[in-house]
Structure 1
Amino acid sequence: MAKILITGNRGFLGTRFQRYHGRDHQIEGVGRADLDILDSDAVKRKIAACGPEIIIHGAAVTATAFCEENPDEARQINVTGALNVAAAARDAGARMVFLSTEQVFNGNDEPGPYSEDHQAVPNTVYGKTKLEAEEQLRETCDNLLILRLTWLFGLPEFREPVNSNVVWDAIRIAVSGKRTKVAVHEYRGVTWVYDLLDRFPALLEMPSGTYHVGSENDLNRYDLFRHVFRELGISHRVEELLVPDHKLYRERPRDIRLDTEKITARGIRFPVSTEAISQCLGAFMTTGMGSSR
């Protein structure tokens, strides 16, 4: 049983991580109300008092629009905050696990999927702050895992938040009956949050380094939405509700797919995104929850 401290514990992933692994590990979660990660002394005191073996740093400003409008605040939290946690982890002898993002590749001209060795070229404030944090963290502590995650998806669960994601967004379109444009020039992996949670113990055992994590996918966003509709048994409503958006990203397709061969070679495999979507919806229809566990 590992002793784990997770920051950002009130977010989409953090809440589910605590519940899912709380029976097998000693987990303490902190959110913004519990700990100001910009206060380096407070961070050191908290980590020294908790004595974790592993620190999973999920606290971040992730809303891209907010980051664009508030770049200084985004950098403070996403870079300075992460460095404060990493320095305290180093001093406490704990492993630092930094949750990063596929969006570090948002500005790359060449198409994905991208490997860990590929030069990342972010073109958003969010992506830039996450890449800067990665670079500075490598100089701060040696016992460091950087996990670049694909877009996570899941469904609402009791007292746990749900973010905008491919499955939930498609369901809301179907329920609202509102015709909605969906991009055809956008490609990214989408990962069921419980597929990630299932594999987290194995991920934590990997050697220090940077890893691309999640399900791979070759379909554009529009086709993924069509897949959700098909799994829901409402394919007949695709033309009524889903409008293929051929203008968005037409001049420069958005392709932030990740190559996950590095973790696959270590025996950590994820289902492709369409399979994961089918499993998620199947679990929800069977249990009424977002997980079959």
Structure 2
Amino acid sequence: MILITGKNGQLAREFVKKLTEKNINFKALGHEELDIGNLDSVMKTVRELKPTTIINCAAYNLVDKAEEEYEIAYKTNTIGPENLAIAAREIGGFLIHYSTDYVFDGTKENGLYIENDTPSPVNEYGKTKLEGEKRIKEIGDKYLIFRVSWVYGKGKQNFMYKLTQWAEKMPFLKVVCDEFSVPTSTETIVNISLKALKEELTGLYHLVNSGYTSRFEWARLTFKLLKLNKFIRPVTSDTFKLPAKRPGFSPMSNERLSKLLNIQIPAWEDALEKFLKEEGLTL
């Protein structure tokens, strides 16, 4: 049996869809049912359900708010994974956890970030996620930590939905052109996660779609695929004066994971087009 945390998020919803299709037994719980930051609650739930695998989709990912709500972010992103790792170890279960490209500072100049690169987060959100990784590693060896980036899936939590909302309200859009990473679909994350679990991989990997882009180019391709004729002006990130600093260039390489699983992970452009078609958004 698989236990999924953070059931209301877009990643958990994709897991629910996929596991239901595959007729795999699972239990998905939201924050109101399971506060992963509370060890007693986690232990009680895990002892009752005795899952073979825990998939942690719960996260505090409000990057700017984390600057002022550090304790809340820390409880979910650091203490939460630690608690789940402790519980998984007690019952001999396996833990899958998701981290972020924001563990890096974005200053690498000679290629994409690989798993051996030294993390150096530039914001509080990234710091809590990196510490969560460390706690899991310290507790046991039956885990998969996947660093993901610019995640999008069904629902209203993703960049494309926000773009279309902005497009309806504004005569033109301003989108940053100096932040680079890899838009990654929840479908890709779920498919690769389940394959890695089946192949009994352990350790830390970068799980992203292939290639990389800027937020500006991501927005341009989205509007092109949606056939939305709206002007998008490229601007620098300091235009918006956001509380949290972002890494300028944080795309990660999925080469290690691709080789181990002997697969080709779809390009970000192809995954985006597939997602928009399945959502019925392209003409």
Could you state the TM-score of these two structures normalised by the residue count of structure 1?
0.86
Alignment of 1:162-181 (within 5 A): 162-165=156-159, 167-181=160-174
d(CA) in 2 for partners of 1:247 and 1:151? 16
Structure 1 residue 268 displacement after superposition: 3.5
| Partner of residue 218 from structure 1, selected from 212, 221, 230 | 212
1:11 to 1:247, Cα distance in 2 relative to 1, 3 A: closer
- Give secondary structure in 1 for the equivalent of 2:64: helix
d(CA) in 2 for partners of 1:171 and 1:50? 41
Which consecutive aligned stretches of 4+ in structure 1 deviate over 6 angstroms post-superposition?
none
1:49 to 1:13, Cα distance in 2 relative to 1, 3 A: same
Q: Does 1:248 align with 2:238?
A: yes
d(CA) in 2 for partners of 1:172 and 1:77? 29
Alignment of 1:253-268 (within 5 A): 254-266=248-260, 267-268=262-263
Alignment of 1:1-293 (within 5 A): 3-24=1-22, 25-105=24-104, 107-111=105-109, 112-156=111-155, 162-165=156-159, 167-204=160-197, 205-234=199-228, 237-239=229-231, 242-246=232-236, 248=238, 254-266=248-260, 267-285=262-280
* Preserved CA contact (<8 Å) 1:263 1:269: no
Q: Which range moved further: 35-44 or 110-119?
A: 35-44
Q: Which range moved further: 263-272 or 121-130?
A: 263-272
1:74 to 1:253, Cα distance in 2 relative to 1, 3 A: closer
Structure 1 residue 261 displacement after superposition: 0.4
Q: Deviations along 1:64-86, whole A, 9 cap, x unmatched?
A: 12211111221122111211111
d(CA) in 2 for partners of 1:144 and 1:171? 37
Q: Which amino acid aligns with 1:269?
A: Q
d(CA) in 1 for partners of 2:130 and 2:202? 17
1:203 to 1:248, Cα distance in 2 relative to 1, 3 A: farther
- Give secondary structure in 2 for the equivalent of 1:64: coil
- Give secondary structure in 2 for the equivalent of 1:255: coil
Could you state the TM-score of these two structures normalised by the residue count of structure 2?
0.89
Structure 1 residue 164 displacement after superposition: 3.1
Structure 1: give runs of 5+ residues left out of the alignment.
157-161, 289-293
Structure 1 residue 238 displacement after superposition: 4.2
* Preserved CA contact (<8 Å) 1:144 1:209: yes
Q: Which amino acid aligns with 1:36?
A: D
d(CA) in 2 for partners of 1:203 and 1:248? 39
1:51 to 1:184, Cα distance in 2 relative to 1, 3 A: same
Give % identity: 28
1:274 to 1:72, Cα distance in 2 relative to 1, 3 A: same
Q: Which amino acid aligns with 1:175?
A: E
Q: Which amino acid aligns with 1:5?
A: L
* Preserved CA contact (<8 Å) 1:226 1:238: no
Structure 1 residue 286 displacement after superposition: 8.0
d(CA) in 2 for partners of 1:238 and 1:198? 33
Structure 1 residue 41 displacement after superposition: 2.3
d(CA) in 2 for partners of 1:86 and 1:257? 27
* Preserved CA contact (<8 Å) 2:183 2:212: no
d(CA) in 1 for partners of 2:58 and 2:182? 22
1:228 to 1:93, Cα distance in 2 relative to 1, 3 A: same
d(CA) in 2 for partners of 1:247 and 1:150? 18
d(CA) in 2 for partners of 1:223 and 1:238? 14
1:268 to 1:175, Cα distance in 2 relative to 1, 3 A: farther
